[in-house]
Structure 1
Amino acid sequence: MTTLRLNTLAIAVGLAFSASSVIAEEAQVQAEKNIEQISVLGSRVSNRTVTESSSPIDLIDADTLNKGGFTELGQSLQATAPSFNFSRTQVSDGSDLFRPATLRGLQPDQTLVLVNGKRRHNQSIFGLVGTVGAGAAGTDMNAIPLSALKGVEVLRDGAAAQYGSDAIAGVINLSLNDSTGITTGYFQAGSTGEGDGDTISLGLNRGFDLGDQGGFINVSAEYRDADGTNRAERDTGGSAAVSAGTLSDTVRWGQGNSESEFTSLFYNMSLPLDDAELYSFGGYSERTALGNGFYRNFDAASKNVTQVYSDGFLPRIYNEAQDISLALGIKGDINTDWGYDVSAVYGENQYDFTSRNTLNASYAAEYVLNNPNATDADIAANSGPNGGYSGGFRFDQTTVNADINGIIDIGRSEPIYLSFGAEYRKENYQIVPGDEASYACGLANQNIVYPSANDPSTSAECGFQAYNGLRPEASNSQSRNSHALYVNAETMITDAWNISTALRYEDFSDAGDDIIGKLASRYELNDDFAVRGAISSGFRAPSLQQSAYTAFTTNLGDGGVLEQSFIAKAGSDLPVALGVESLELESSKNVSFGFVYDVSSELSLTVDFYHTAIKDRITLGNFMKAEDLAFSPAAVAALNATGADQAAYFSNSVDSTTKGVDVILSYRTDLYDGDFSATFAGNINRTYIDKVNAPTGVPKEIALDDTQRSFLTNGQPGERGTLTFDYERDAMSAMVRFNYFGETDVKYFGNDHIGLPDFLSPTGEFKDTSVVESAVLVDINFGYELSESLTFNLGIDNVFDVTPDELGKDEALDFITNGAFKYPVRALPYGFDGMTYYAKVSFSF
């Protein structure tokens, strides 16, 4: 097939990732070497050669991803692409394994992730109320090993018209390694400045030729083992032998990263046939993490049984995630001008939870009620298990694509480049119930409330502490399918003006259909300066994880009390009573405009402004009690029927607008017989709530309360920036990177959420919100090539040991943890582990 000549093609339309030579350091390197960037990932136009793009793209190669001490893909992307956020969350179910990956301050499920240009499946679980990305099941970035990647492309523009649902904020494409004939690998060990969190990581990659026509198979394996960290302090909760208010002898709470383990195996393969190419890729990964809940005080009679835990206990949650993916496709030529690509991709993700060091307080309560003269030994012996399986989630997705692309000669110097195709997708979602002891009310499990074994005036709670088991009545299995048709056209109007369009129709069996489109253009004013922009509409279908989810959980209620909570399934009695019968499509409109300026052969600048308006945005509501629902007797009855203290539900509750700007400035020169580069990349964004969509008769604060609002507008940094200096000379290399994170300010765990009376505060007043201050983290790395096949690196991340400000006595979180928590635990863009250091040996042969 003849090579398609696409000078200054528009990437954002045509379903392609163009490689701009001016928006990222890696692209600048290639431009200086006079090597054209070729991108076929996700494109409907094959053999696409591009030197410039109409949409902003970050190009990050494997060397950059691995430059530093980060062993997780999400952390590495956060350090190199400022529009990408990877917030930390503590003491939230599942957060020990996954973190919300977001672009431009939107939700995790509003960014589409591709692997080798093909849609990747989402994770089966999401963050719950009081977290960044609550209710949004995005892609689990940490399931993909760094050693398997050749590079990453981040398209920072609305792209639903090209790629379909989920691409409102942009697209991240992960390119798998395709090298052959060389074995590469590394071994890395590190720790924190506090002396905990010891981590070892090792990876191995090898590519093999298949035949003599360019076929290959590349295989990657990676293993990681990390000890946990703990920044909690001694507390004043008291024990059987020590009165409350006295500092404990040891640290009993847990606040830090979990003890974890990661194993993965990925492959990438291509095999030329007579007139076509057979390709396949995929992988398997397994991760485990042992997390913590809140410490249960010895005198918390509803939660503890002192005959089992005389001084209280710290419940643990063992998280296990498995991820499988497999892609198979064939592409080739129809004739000299037209080609095809047919593929099928399967992905599966599952999360399982096992409770440890816990109990079901209702077991002992029932026994004591039936045996009032029981001894302490008898009560302990009949208190049920101290752990067990608490339930899990399953999600799988099959995507089939058929694409045709080629050119139409219209009698001009430039033809029309046309691509069109169809997509079919099938998704399945399942909730797996836990062991009976994880959720039961007493050994007989008769849904009876029993007086506590230690305080008859208090009712014992049902189910395991920390992770209340998934009940059979909450178990669920649901499926759906979707199909789509799309067409893309682009051409050069003049030698300096490119224009491209996209149109897509997509229909979901459970949420309806929509037609969306995009128009993008780029115009060169001269050889050094060009303007670019795009207008697009988009949509996102509610995920099965949102429409089919239902579960009982334990959450923090008023006054810092842990309460049984219920999330109602879409279409069930509670949301229907409040006027929400189903979840609808989110719709979006995106406008972007920017310029590319080659100031000199050494200095380049790109600036891109964006405006994204989303209607009917899906949110997971805050928990409501009977008094909050008093305006609706039907809703109160639905809540009471669940047996929970409070309940929440999903709805299309919000219309929002996100505005921002991305700036990238890149400089490269020769310095003292070496190569020096400096790259600044920054993002500023703001999200505004335009409208709260409350059904008639439902107060707006029920549809969207202040806590939810704070996470949507202030839960992620409004400003992000990185400034990286690199220098290489002979066998030596050095890097210094400055990472700036703007402030976050949310109501969860602030007194606006907990509602403590101010007289309890030692200062006379509790702070209203939970703030994580802005900060600059500095990373340094030194490398030396010991030989052609062996390199040694030594580095420190966060060299100045920056952490959020410690909690004061006027913080509600300090009060409810009895002084145990040292830092905030939600909306943490840079964590609280402080300085980490590492040594790394890389090899190739």
Structure 2
Amino acid sequence: MSTYRLNTLAAAVAFAFSAPSIVNAQEAPVQAQQNIEQISVLGSRVSNRTSTESSSPIDLIDADDLNKGGFTELGQSLQATAPSFNFSRTQVSDGSDLFRPATLRGLQPDQTLVLVNGKRRHNQSIFGLNGTVGAGAAGTDMNAIPLTALKGVEVLRDGAAAQYGSDAIAGVINLSLNNSTGVTTGYVQYGGTSEGDGDTLSAGLNRGFDLGNEGGFINLSLEYRDADGTNRAERDTGGSLNVEPGTLSEDVRWSQGNSESEFTSLFYNMALPMGDGELYSFGGYSERTALGNGFYRNFNEASKNVTQVYSDGFLPRIYNEAEDISVAVGFRGDINPDWNYDVSAVYGENQYDFTSRNTINASYAAEYVFNNPDASDADIAANAGPSGGYSGGFRFDQTTVNLDVNGIVDIGRNEPLYVTIGAEYRKENYEIVPGDEASYACGLANTDASYPSVNDSDQFAECGFQAYNGLRPEATNESDRNSYAFYVDVETMITDAWNVSGALRYEDFSDAGDDLIGKLATRYEFNDDFAVRGAVSTGFRAPSLQQSGYTAFTTNLGSDGTLTQSFTANTGTAFPSALGVDSLELETSTNYSAGFVYDVTSELSLTVDFYRVEIKDRITLGSLLSADDVAFSDEAVAALQATGAVQANYFSNSVDSTTQGVDIIASYRTEVEGGNFGVTFAGNLNDTKIDNVNAEEGIPESVAFDDLQRSFFTDGQPSERATLTFDYERDVYTSTLRFNYFGETDVKYFGNDHISLPGELSPTGSFKPTSTVESAVLVDLNVSYQINEIFNLSVGADNVFDETPDELGDDEVLNFITNGAFKYPVRALPYGFDGRTYYAKVSFEF
């Protein structure tokens, strides 16, 4: 057995909860005067990235591995190196121009806990709404964290709520910040796609400084990225004032691709010895913007357009802006030679704002013409209202305070009992900010009246900006909550070969109740080459404030030409209560894992881990329901009518599910022709089944959880993922060849099961029922040359063979409703559709 022992608080997780930074096992000083040995696991540069001495599977990814490729976002880089991690692409879905759902093992974004230096990181203030992977789940914004600031990443693929609390159902991702000193590192990278767009300039700089002579340090990271957008849309047949509909447009008017974006961040990591202890702090600031797109509004869509302003139609734009702030401060030290403590406070804040551009509120001109029927075209254009403005935003902040004490207890055996006890307090705040009046108003007077559209009196003009209808004052909301937790973690060696650990945690939320959960994990080493490991745990996830506090109005038109408002109702208000949903409860889970670690030879190692995650009362955002949908309940119909909306939805604990699968990692390293050669295979298989729909008696299951939601849960993420990576390093040359396999995704969104169209509209006589993204293998290649002691040149290509999803056919709904403009699907895209990208990077170190 190794002389190192796992940290007592996170024995199954294999990195210290109380550590302000993760340190390399080989670099950690052994303090002979202490009986307890603390060790944290860091990503190594060798091929095997799994901690073979842990009772739970962990991916260890070094910063060098994260930077082997042209990826400039943390989420993209993790997806290429950790197959159980998914970073789905979604197009034309509001805020997803800036954030993407980051998931483990096919579960929701908010079922994975993210830590920085072992401390809980705050979630984002927004979630996807428009038929996306992770809809209704506010996870952690992985793209807010710069790659330059990282020393390594640990990905725990097992339930860890007993160690870390709410959200750790699917696993834990710990981001370890750089703590080096005396070295300046950085890079400048430029790249683009083979289509000639998406040009991206990225630059990063890192420098650490010693503080005093006792081991203190501060490490600073700065990163900047400026990316042009990409567009894979094609010419459309929507027509214009001078071109008959059905005729192919001269130019590409729609947009399907990545948004034009900009990213700036500054992070720091520091520690300063003080007496018998150490003061530490870390945190950062990031700002990102992205100019996204909506669907093109055709010239003859009279309810949406005013031809006196946009004679040929228009492409509405959405300017997304995100700010993220975090700071952690803590002090740790020794109580005596056997016990130590760590007290810390972490504050995090995330805000998203949306500004509409190149848009219109058609009801402004409609009201003007209604009151001035003889108005000229010039007068109509002059009184059509603004072409853009602020559409609203979201705010979320979180403060977490922890006290941890860990040490050893003599139990009369050769091996003591390693113990950690701790307490946590957390305070959270959530706010919805309304948009400018023009972004949501019904006419300049903003009344309940509806007005015939300017260009077709048989239609009524829509209210609010096109593409991102503004957040109404009625939807503004401020909510808060607090929670506290107590936990204990113990570990010991039963024999020299048998390790057992256990954890208990009690946690109470002011708005969602309390729970007592636990974990038992074990590892048995048959010999130096073969060991088995397993764990069973219970867990939970409290509903987020983003779920319990979210409410919003949108305005649409009904089939009778009257204004149709859609409303998301707070859980516990009249409408969801009439359908049996009075509050949001805790999600609860049971995790099982079992696997083995086998060093086949000194060069070849293999880990295989099976898992099963049973989740009860999963929280989902339901589909919009009309009075016809809830006609079985007079109370629900009355509640819906009382809101003033024609259709509404809400969050609920709607389903029970089971996700099971297997992770396989094989690593081989040897010497070839005087160089180091390595091969790593990492694969994940997972499958999610819906066990039960939690609908009250008399409530149809389709009301609580419909087929559209089900398709994203079970088929929206690849059930098979694998990477095969070849590394070779010799003298001044290093090369990496990586094969990325993505399994198929298949959802009902933008299929005929979502938008039902008559078959006679399709040249084939029918439309496909679902939207499918086929399985694919993407190949990445990177070659680097060490020019001298300071500079390194790296060139490469991601997706060398230009793999993209199959193009849409005439029998697909999305092709029809975009008049042939969209070339590819826009939902459940695990690998996107940009195709081949090239890059060149100059790195330096001195």
TM-score (norm: length of structure 1): 0.95
1:454 corresponds in structure 2 to 455
Amino acid at match of 1:48: I
| Residues in 2 aligned to 1:555 and 1:101: alpha-carbon distance in whole angstroms | 31
2:236 corresponds in structure 1 to 235
State whether structure 2 residue 224 is matched by structure 1 residue 226: no
Q: Taking structure 1 as reference, are residues 348 and 8 closer, same or farther at Cα in structure 2, changes over 3 Å only?
A: closer
Three-state SS of the structure 2 residue aligned to 1:235 is coil
Q: Taking structure 1 as reference, are residues 76 and 37 closer, same or farther at Cα in structure 2, changes over 3 Å only?
A: farther
| Residues in 1 aligned to 2:730 and 2:592: alpha-carbon distance in whole angstroms | 43
| Residues in 2 aligned to 1:322 and 1:453: alpha-carbon distance in whole angstroms | 39
Q: CA deviation at 1:628?
A: 1.4
| Residues in 2 aligned to 1:15 and 1:813: alpha-carbon distance in whole angstroms | 44
Q: CA deviation at 1:630?
A: 1.6
Q: Which one is further off, 628-637 or 219-228?
A: 628-637
Matches within 5 A, 1:356-505: 356-505=357-506
Three-state SS of the structure 2 residue aligned to 1:188 is strand
Contact in 2 for aligned 1:203/1:223 (Cα 8 Å): yes
Q: CA deviation at 1:566?
A: 2.4
1:843 corresponds in structure 2 to 844
Q: CA deviation at 1:393?
A: 0.1
Amino acid at match of 1:47: Q
Q: CA deviation at 1:475?
A: 0.5
Q: Taking structure 1 as reference, are residues 685 and 555 closer, same or farther at Cα in structure 2, changes over 3 Å only?
A: farther
State whether structure 2 residue 38 is matched by structure 1 residue 47: yes
Q: CA deviation at 1:143?
A: 0.0
2:814 corresponds in structure 1 to 813
1:23 corresponds in structure 2 to none
| Residues in 1 aligned to 2:665 and 2:224: alpha-carbon distance in whole angstroms | 34
Q: CA deviation at 1:646?
A: 2.8
Amino acid at match of 2:234: E
2:15 corresponds in structure 1 to 17
| Residues in 2 aligned to 1:46 and 1:174: alpha-carbon distance in whole angstroms | 22
Three-state SS of the structure 2 residue aligned to 1:735 is strand
| Residues in 2 aligned to 1:69 and 1:557: alpha-carbon distance in whole angstroms | 48
Three-state SS of the structure 2 residue aligned to 1:545 is helix
Three-state SS of the structure 2 residue aligned to 1:489 is strand
Q: Taking structure 1 as reference, are residues 69 and 11 closer, same or farther at Cα in structure 2, changes over 3 Å only?
A: farther
Q: CA deviation at 1:629?
A: 1.7
Q: CA deviation at 1:553?
A: 4.2
Three-state SS of the structure 2 residue aligned to 1:721 is strand
Query: Per-residue CA shift, 1:369-425, capped at 9, x if unaligned?
Result: 111111111111111000000000000000000000000011211100000010000
| Residues in 2 aligned to 1:13 and 1:668: alpha-carbon distance in whole angstroms | 28
State whether structure 2 residue 821 is matched by structure 1 residue 823: no
Q: Taking structure 1 as reference, are residues 310 and 39 closer, same or farther at Cα in structure 2, changes over 3 Å only?
A: farther
Amino acid at match of 2:451: Y
Amino acid at match of 1:61: D
| Residues in 1 aligned to 2:558 and 2:533: alpha-carbon distance in whole angstroms | 49
Q: Taking structure 1 as reference, are residues 556 and 145 closer, same or farther at Cα in structure 2, changes over 3 Å only?
A: farther
Contact in 2 for aligned 1:18/1:52 (Cα 8 Å): no
Three-state SS of the structure 2 residue aligned to 1:813 is helix
2:797 corresponds in structure 1 to 796
Contact in 2 for aligned 1:152/1:174 (Cα 8 Å): yes
Q: Which one is further off, 367-376 or 137-146?
A: 367-376
Three-state SS of the structure 1 residue aligned to 2:753 is helix
| Residues in 2 aligned to 1:831 and 1:676: alpha-carbon distance in whole angstroms | 31
| Residues in 2 aligned to 1:810 and 1:373: alpha-carbon distance in whole angstroms | 45
Q: Taking structure 1 as reference, are residues 793 and 6 closer, same or farther at Cα in structure 2, changes over 3 Å only?
A: closer
Three-state SS of the structure 2 residue aligned to 1:278 is strand
Q: CA deviation at 1:638?
A: 3.1
Query: Per-residue CA shift, 1:201-255, capped at 9, x if unaligned?
Result: 0000000000011100000000000000000000011111111100011111110
Amino acid at match of 1:609: F
| Residues in 2 aligned to 1:396 and 1:571: alpha-carbon distance in whole angstroms | 24
1:22 corresponds in structure 2 to none
| Residues in 1 aligned to 2:803 and 2:28: alpha-carbon distance in whole angstroms | 39
| Residues in 2 aligned to 1:645 and 1:305: alpha-carbon distance in whole angstroms | 25
| Residues in 2 aligned to 1:785 and 1:13: alpha-carbon distance in whole angstroms | 39
Q: CA deviation at 1:18?
A: 7.7
Q: Taking structure 1 as reference, are residues 457 and 633 closer, same or farther at Cα in structure 2, changes over 3 Å only?
A: farther
Q: Which one is further off, 87-96 or 630-639?
A: 630-639
Q: CA deviation at 1:302?
A: 0.8
Amino acid at match of 1:690: D
2:679 corresponds in structure 1 to 678
Three-state SS of the structure 1 residue aligned to 2:162 is helix
| Residues in 2 aligned to 1:736 and 1:10: alpha-carbon distance in whole angstroms | 38
State whether structure 2 residue 326 is matched by structure 1 residue 325: yes
State whether structure 2 residue 624 is matched by structure 1 residue 623: yes
**Which blocks of at least 5 consecutive residues in structure 2 are unaligned?**
42-51
Contact in 1 for aligned 2:63/2:152 (Cα 8 Å): yes
Q: Taking structure 1 as reference, are residues 37 and 616 closer, same or farther at Cα in structure 2, changes over 3 Å only?
A: farther
Three-state SS of the structure 2 residue aligned to 1:754 is coil
| Residues in 1 aligned to 2:696 and 2:420: alpha-carbon distance in whole angstroms | 42
Contact in 2 for aligned 1:546/1:650 (Cα 8 Å): yes
1:719 corresponds in structure 2 to 720
| Residues in 2 aligned to 1:410 and 1:673: alpha-carbon distance in whole angstroms | 52
Amino acid at match of 2:58: I
| Residues in 2 aligned to 1:563 and 1:38: alpha-carbon distance in whole angstroms | 67
2:307 corresponds in structure 1 to 306
Amino acid at match of 2:274: L
Q: CA deviation at 1:455?
A: 1.3
Three-state SS of the structure 2 residue aligned to 1:751 is coil
Amino acid at match of 1:652: N
| Residues in 1 aligned to 2:6 and 2:156: alpha-carbon distance in whole angstroms | 16
Q: Which one is further off, 387-396 or 756-765?
A: 756-765
Contact in 1 for aligned 2:618/2:656 (Cα 8 Å): yes
2:144 corresponds in structure 1 to 143
Three-state SS of the structure 2 residue aligned to 1:630 is coil
Amino acid at match of 1:101: A
Amino acid at match of 1:706: D
| Residues in 1 aligned to 2:456 and 2:558: alpha-carbon distance in whole angstroms | 21
1:292 corresponds in structure 2 to 293
| Residues in 2 aligned to 1:7 and 1:643: alpha-carbon distance in whole angstroms | 62
1:765 corresponds in structure 2 to 766
Alpha-carbon RMSD: 2.1
State whether structure 2 residue 268 is matched by structure 1 residue 277: no
Q: CA deviation at 1:578?
A: 1.1
Q: CA deviation at 1:641?
A: 4.0
**Which blocks of at least 5 consecutive residues in structure 1 are unaligned?**
20-25
Q: CA deviation at 1:552?
A: 2.8
| Residues in 1 aligned to 2:596 and 2:751: alpha-carbon distance in whole angstroms | 42
Three-state SS of the structure 2 residue aligned to 1:635 is helix
| Residues in 1 aligned to 2:830 and 2:503: alpha-carbon distance in whole angstroms | 35
Contact in 1 for aligned 2:233/2:255 (Cα 8 Å): yes
| Residues in 2 aligned to 1:784 and 1:501: alpha-carbon distance in whole angstroms | 48
Contact in 2 for aligned 1:101/1:108 (Cα 8 Å): yes
Q: Which one is further off, 618-627 or 71-80?
A: 618-627
Query: Per-residue CA shift, 1:291-336, capped at 9, x if unaligned?
Result: 0001111111111111111111110000000000000000000001
Q: Taking structure 1 as reference, are residues 709 and 554 closer, same or farther at Cα in structure 2, changes over 3 Å only?
A: farther
1:191 corresponds in structure 2 to 192
Three-state SS of the structure 1 residue aligned to 2:333 is strand
2:46 corresponds in structure 1 to none
Query: Per-residue CA shift, 1:648-691, capped at 9, x if unaligned?
Result: 21100000000000000000000000000000000000000000
Contact in 2 for aligned 1:355/1:464 (Cα 8 Å): yes
Matches within 5 A, 1:603-682: 603-682=604-683
Contact in 2 for aligned 1:14/1:419 (Cα 8 Å): no
| Residues in 1 aligned to 2:636 and 2:254: alpha-carbon distance in whole angstroms | 37
| Residues in 1 aligned to 2:682 and 2:530: alpha-carbon distance in whole angstroms | 19
Q: Taking structure 1 as reference, are residues 331 and 18 closer, same or farther at Cα in structure 2, changes over 3 Å only?
A: closer
| Residues in 1 aligned to 2:811 and 2:467: alpha-carbon distance in whole angstroms | 26
Q: What fraction of aligned residue pairs are identical, expressed as a percent? A: 77
Query: Per-residue CA shift, 1:437-491, capped at 9, x if unaligned?
Result: 0000110111222111111211111100000000000000000000000001100
1:774 corresponds in structure 2 to 775
Matches within 5 A, 1:31-70: 35=26, 47-48=38-39, 52-70=53-71
Query: Per-residue CA shift, 1:763-802, capped at 9, x if unaligned?
Result: 1010000000000000000100000110000000000000
| Residues in 2 aligned to 1:555 and 1:368: alpha-carbon distance in whole angstroms | 20
Matches within 5 A, 1:68-79: 68-79=69-80
| Residues in 1 aligned to 2:759 and 2:514: alpha-carbon distance in whole angstroms | 51
Amino acid at match of 1:496: A
